[in-house]
Amino acid sequence: MVQNVSGESSARTFRVPRLSLKHREALEAWLFVSPIVTGFLIFFVGPLVAVVFYSMTEWNLLTQQATFVGMRNYVDALTQNPDFWHVIRNSLIFAAGLVPLNMALALCLALALSRPFLGVVFFRTIFFAPVITSAVAWAIVWKFLLQGENGFVNQMLAIIGIDGPNWLRDPNWAMVAVIFTRVIKMVGLNMILYIAALQSVPRDYEEAARLEGASGWQIFWSITWPLLAPTTLVIMIITMIGSFKVFDHIYLMTNGGPENGTLVLAFYIYEQGFKFFNTGYASALAMIMFVIVLVLTILQLLLRRKEAS
Amino acid sequence: MTLSPHRLHVLNRICWTLALAALAIPFIFPFLWMISSGFKTPAEIFGQPSLIPAVWRWQNFVDVFTYQPFARQYFNSLYIALVVTALTLVVSSLAGYALARMRFAGAGLLMVFLLSALMVPEEVTIIPNFFLMRWLGLMDTHMPLILLPVFGPHGIMATFLMRQYFLALPKEVEEAGKMDGLSRFGIWWLIALPMSRPALAAVAIITFLFSWNLFLEPLIFVSSLNLFTLPLALNNFNDPYGLPLWNLQLAATSLAVVPILGIYLIAQRQIIESFAMSGVKG
């Protein structure tokens, strides 16, 4: 960072040839962006290039050093290792549960909280509070609430005669519990994005429809919902990408268990890379995650373009 | 008996509010239960559930600090978040200003380059970054926790947020500054920045929280208890068998969460708006 800004070269050249206004502006602009560009190259672009190479090597605790193996890690993941498809399946189940639930709840909350009434700020504040809370704190508290025998949730269920499962240790329930607590944690973010979108919807249409005698449902489906479509699309992709990246929540609540029932892609990368030190294989997994997110993003851009035209 | 329209409206309103209140329980109750359990004795933790502890065990909040260097860990989180926020503000507002206002060769390409970073998850670059930090001798230091957020996707997002805001500012004031002989740097510092307080506040808020809540990076780069940040420390109140000491864990979690919640309650409008601003990027 420092080398960039100072440099004997600029000190020497600065006085001799007078820079044209255009060149001077360009030089200044590059000085302005130089901190982020330098850091970005070192800590982001470099590693991104490196991970491509890593992914084509065999490199683990046994080999100690990297040997080039071409596409073998990818072939291993896609055809040999049964864990991989299990992990992808888990990630898809997680996304398929989280995305619709999150978006439906976010939209309902936004519809209820987009107009002023007594207590609207109070409710918005509550529904958004988990978003600013650390994932660790959230996971600790919910782990405590969801314990099998003495957990508060099960104690409450017992009152109405339900014998609750050991939520986070039961292979049938762990994924449900993880999805539910994640939705509660993150839904506030989508809620405020929907509220912002709803508040920019012109009220005239709605008033006119109401005067024509349209019901609330009709107004929603024929006016509000179509106007929200661009927002819905953006939120859907952001939420989908977020669900593929989920790591801390899984690490803290279930550690991938029980019986690998909540072993999702980001957690699998961490486990392979930093617990088992399969650097080559973990890098191939990271590349696969990169491609998934890339496809989702491009899909979003294409759909938005279609929407615009 | 038929209800008058006004009565019907009021009834309707009450029903809605009750429904919302019921829905709010899983959002608000964990916080209340966390604080309450932080005061309980280990025996009561597993006993009859009650929101008000039968015995208030203040000792929990003393034990939290003797079990591990919790004060030190708390300070680590605080100073790292402040440094990351300050650096991000400088770096992103400098770059954001150049991208919004200055013409230079390669600007378009640079934009595309930076934008593409927004879609790469940290998990993708974390493995090479691990080896980079080891090579630089920065393992088990706080440097990775400062460098990666500032220059990673979060810093880029902040840059675009700043750029977006600078673009919307009126150019005339800056032109006047130029007439008065201010340098580019002077215009940025004396004119553009003071006019962008809302954007700077938004970047500061989301960056502080981003750093404060960071988990994957500390987990990978830091191993000494003294260097732990709060997210690592909170997860570390366990008995010798690795089972959580719930009353300590929840007391410590309360200590970490309640100040942030307090600030949030005071400045909720500003904080929510900051997230809305960063969410509708691009």
Region A238-247 average pLDDT: 90
Q: Which of A133-137, B169-173, B187-191 has the lowest mean pLDDT?
A: B169-173
Taking CA–CA distances from B90, the nearest residue in chain A reads: A35
Residue B282 has pLDDT above 70, yes or no: no
CA distance A291 to chain B (A): 9
**What does pLDDT average to over chain A?**
87
Q: Is residue A99 very low, low, confident or very high in pLDDT (cuts 50, 70, 90)?
A: very high
CB–CB of B231 and A126 under 8 A?
A: no
> Which pTM was predicted?
0.91
CA–CA distance, A138 with B260 (Å, rounded to integer):
13
Which pLDDT score, from 0 to 100, does residue A9 have? 46
pLDDT (tens digit, 9 = 90+) per residue, B218-274? 999 999 999 999 999 999 998 888 888 999 999 999 999 999 999 999 999 999 999
pLDDT (tens digit, 9 = 90+) per residue, A137-183? 999 999 999 988 888 898 888 889 888 888 999 988 999 999 999 99
CA–CA distance, A160 with B32 (Å, rounded to integer):
22
Q: Which of A113-127, A245-259, A290-304 has the lowest mean pLDDT?
A: A290-304
Across the interface, of A119, A141, A266, the residue whose CB is closest to B17 is: A119
Contacts of B153 in chain A (CB under 8 A): 44
ipTM, interface predicted TM-score of the complex: 0.91
Across the interface, of B155, B212, B231, the residue whose CB is closest to A36 is: B155
Region A218-240 average pLDDT: 88
Across the interface, of B105, B127, B272, the residue whose CB is closest to A273 is: B127
Residue A100 has pLDDT above 50, yes or no: yes
CA distance A301 to chain B (A): 10
What residues contact residue A198 under an 8 Å CB cut-off, 6+ apart? A110, A111, A114, A224, A228
Quick check: helix, strand or coil at residue A57?
strand
- Cβ A109 vs Cβ A191: under 8 Å: yes
Quick check: helix, strand or coil at residue A62?
coil
Q: Is residue A1 very low, low, confident or very high in pLDDT (cuts 50, 70, 90)?
A: very low
Suggest the residue from A141, A156, A253 to mutate for an interface test with chain B (most B CBs closer than 10 A): A141
Tokens of B9: 């409206």
Q: Give the number of other CB atoms < 10 A from CB of residue A63.
A: 13
**What is the biggest distance separating any 2 CA atoms in chain B, rounded to whole angstroms?**
81
Across the interface, of A54, A137, A270, the residue whose CB is closest to B257 is: A137
Tokens of B259: 């100040």
Which pLDDT score, from 0 to 100, does residue A2 have? 39
CA–CA distance, B225 with B102 (Å, rounded to integer):
46
Q: Is residue A76 very low, low, confident or very high in pLDDT (cuts 50, 70, 90)?
A: confident
The CA-atom distances, in angstroms, between A175 and each of A170, A256, A258, A265, B179 are 9, 10, 9, 14, 63
Taking CA–CA distances from B216, the nearest residue in chain A reads: A248
Which pLDDT score, from 0 to 100, does residue B142 have? 97
DSSP codes of every residue in chain B: ----HHHHHHHHHHHHHHHHHHHHHHHHHHHHHHHHHHTS-HHHHTSS--SS-SS--THHHHHHHHHS-HHHHHHHHHHHHHHHHHHHHHHHHHHHHHHHH---TTHHHHHHHHHHHTTS-HHHHHHHHHHHHHHTT-TTSSHHHHHHHHHSHHHHHHHHHHHHHHHHS-HHHHHHHHHTT--HHHIIIIIIHHHTHHHHHHHHHHHHHHHHT--HHHHHH---GGG--HHHHHTT-B-TTS-B-HHHHHHHHHHHHHHHHHHHHHSHHHHHHHHHHHHT--
Across the interface, of B16, B127, B265, the residue whose CB is closest to A112 is: B16
Q: Is residue A309 very low, low, confident or very high in pLDDT (cuts 50, 70, 90)?
A: low
Q: Is residue A233 very low, low, confident or very high in pLDDT (cuts 50, 70, 90)?
A: confident
CA distance B1 to chain A (A): 25
Residue A16 has pLDDT above 60, yes or no: no
Q: Is residue A15 very low, low, confident or very high in pLDDT (cuts 50, 70, 90)?
A: low
List A68's β-bridge partners, or say none. A57
Q: What angle do CA A256, A259, A263 make, to 5 degrees?
A: 30
Q: Which percentage of chain A shows pLDDT scores above 90?
A: 50
Contacts of B184 in chain A (CB under 8 A): 25, 28, 32
Region B87-115 average pLDDT: 92
**What does pLDDT average to over chain B?**
91
Region A22-46 average pLDDT: 91
CB–CB of A140 and B94 under 8 A?
A: no
Q: Is residue A273 very low, low, confident or very high in pLDDT (cuts 50, 70, 90)?
A: very high
Q: Is residue B173 very low, low, confident or very high in pLDDT (cuts 50, 70, 90)?
A: confident
Contacts of A134 in chain B (CB under 8 A): 212-213, 215, 230-231, 234, 256-257
Residue A43 has pLDDT above 90, yes or no: yes
Q: Is the peptide bond before A258 cis (omega within 30 degrees of 0)?
A: yes
Which pLDDT score, from 0 to 100, does residue A17 have? 59
DSSP state of A20: P
Tokens of B87: 């650096």
DSSP state of A224: I
Of residues B46 and A12, which shows the higher confidence score? B46
Which pLDDT score, from 0 to 100, does residue B12 have? 83
Suggest the residue from A5, A36, A115 to mutate for an interface test with chain B (most B CBs closer than 10 A): A36
Which pLDDT score, from 0 to 100, does residue A8 have? 43
Q: Give the number of other CB atoms < 10 A from CB of residue A158.
A: 11
CA–CA distance, A163 with A173 (Å, rounded to integer):
13
